[in-house]
Amino acid sequence: MSTQNDFPRFDRALPALAAFIRDLTASIQTREIDTEGKAERAIKEFFTQQQLNNLAQVAPAWNDLLEYEGARTLCHVVTALASLPYYPEYNEASQVQQTIIAWALLYHDIAKRSKHAKDHGHAFRSAVAAARSLPLIGVDLPESYHSGIDGWSELTLAAIGDGTTDGNHVDNRTLPHILEQLDAMLAQDSASSRIVKIILFHHSITTVTDWPQPNPLSDTEILQYFDSELLHLMRIMLLADSDGWELFHASTCHAYRLETRGVFDRLRQAIAP
């Protein structure tokens, strides 16, 4: 079974995409790309049919993002990945932590399909898509994964209903069972488990008052479900998720980073006073 140290690295599994993201980050830093429109054009130009096919080998639903909302979500994901070097939390992270964050960002919106303005159920759908994609990225998985993935997927998807109402239905009461089965399927502190949990929870904490979550976890639930490592990874993930939408809007980008860090500073003190 894969350990954290030999978990497949994002830049080795997807070298062309990783190189493009590095170039995009550099172009944003030099202000060669200084607007959302310029970034979107560069991203759409990169994703030729060949590049889409390459990515679909490890993320089969990725091709659908090109069509969804005019590729807005696809551009958001790539911009979020390009924003990572702006955070000291990411730059100071270990190679394993950086790998976990990169994979989590790649998959975090991959099942976003709802026609509703807000689709908070996609976090659960995307977590299932990521969990099912682990063999495709070369993870050596235990027998418990192969015997448990179908049941866990059904349980997780049932927590968001059929998605035909308003896109916001999430039943947090099922989380203890979902997490119990996930921990039985994948080692609790494995990179695979961290990636799936980050995606599962990325709409479970309100970090920005302008974007309130309709079904947020209480502080008590966060303390129950998160250890300090997962909390730190979620901090980086949600900074990047916010920047994926706001990176070219300086005032809100700065404000949202401050607000997000404030939320996680408070939670960190509660977990490890």
The pair of structure tokens assigned to 152 is 């866990």
The confidence score (pLDDT) of residue 4 equals 61
- Label residue 134 exposed, middle or buried (CB < 10 Å: 0-12, 13-18, 19+): buried
Tell me if 216 sits within 8 A of 73, measured CB to CB: no
d(CA 52, CA 66): 9
User: What is the Cα–Cα distance from 156 to 29, expressed in whole angstroms?
Assistant: 40
Helix spans in the chain (H): 10-13, 15-29, 36-46, 49-56, 62-67, 72-83, 88-91, 95-107, 122-133, 143-158, 175-185, 191-200, 219-225, 228-246, 250-271
pLDDT value, residue 88: 98
Residue 78 structure tokens: 């790539």
Q: What are phi and psi of 204, to 5 degrees?
A: -110, 0
Q: State the burial class of residue 22 (Cβ atoms within 10 Å of its Cβ: 0-12, 13-18, 19+).
A: middle
Percent of the chain, pLDDT > 70?
93
Predicted local confidence at residue 188, as pLDDT: 86
Higher pLDDT: 95 or 3? It is 95
If one counts the domains in the chain, the total is 1
Q: Which residues have a Cβ under 8 Å from the Cβ of 41 and sit 6 or more positions away?
A: none
What is the pLDDT, as a whole number, of residue 82? 98
Residue 101 has pLDDT above 90, yes or no: yes
The SS3 of residue 169 is coil
Q: Containing domain of residue 69, as a range? A: 4-271
66 touches 47 (CB < 8 A): yes
What are the structure tokens assigned to 57, written together? 């080998």
Residues 191-230 have pLDDT tens digits of 999 999 999 999 999 999 999 998 899 999 999 999 999 9
Sign of CA dihedral 196, 198, 199, 203: positive
- As a whole number, the mean pLDDT across the chain is 92
Round to whole Å and give the CA distance between 123 and 7. 23
Give the total residue count for the chain: 273
Predicted local distance difference test score (pLDDT) of residue 118: 67
Segment 169-197 mean pLDDT: 94
Which pLDDT score, from 0 to 100, does residue 161 have?
A: 74
| Residues 181, 144: Cα–Cα separation, whole Å | 10
